Amino acid sequence: MRSRRSISDIVAVVLLIVIAIAAAVIIYMWLSGLIGTIHTSTSITQTKLEITGASVTEKTVNSNYSNYSVTAYVYNPPGSPSTSITLGELEFTNGTLICSTNQVSPSTIASSNSTSVKFFCSYSAAVPPGTPVEIILLTSEGVQVTYTATVS
pLDDT over 50 (residue 42): no
pLDDT at 2: 54
Q: What number is the average pLDDT over the span 12-20?
A: 94
- How large is the average pLDDT for residues 33-52? 64
Query: What pLDDT is attached to residue 81?
Result: 86
Residue 36 has pLDDT above 80, yes or no: no
| Mean pLDDT, the chain, whole residue set | 85
124-132 — which CB contacts under 8 Å span 24+ positions?
A: 124/64, 124/65, 125/65, 125/66, 126/58, 126/60, 126/66, 127/58, 127/66, 127/68, 127/92, 127/98, 127/151, 129/58, 131/92, 132/92, 132/93
pLDDT tens, residue by residue, 87-124: 999 999 999 999 999 999 988 898 889 999 999 988 88
* Predicted pLDDT of residue 66: 87
pTM for this predicted structure:
0.68
Q: What is the arithmetic mean of pLDDT over 11-40?
A: 81
Phi-psi region of 70 (alpha: psi -120 to 50; beta: other; left: phi over 0): beta
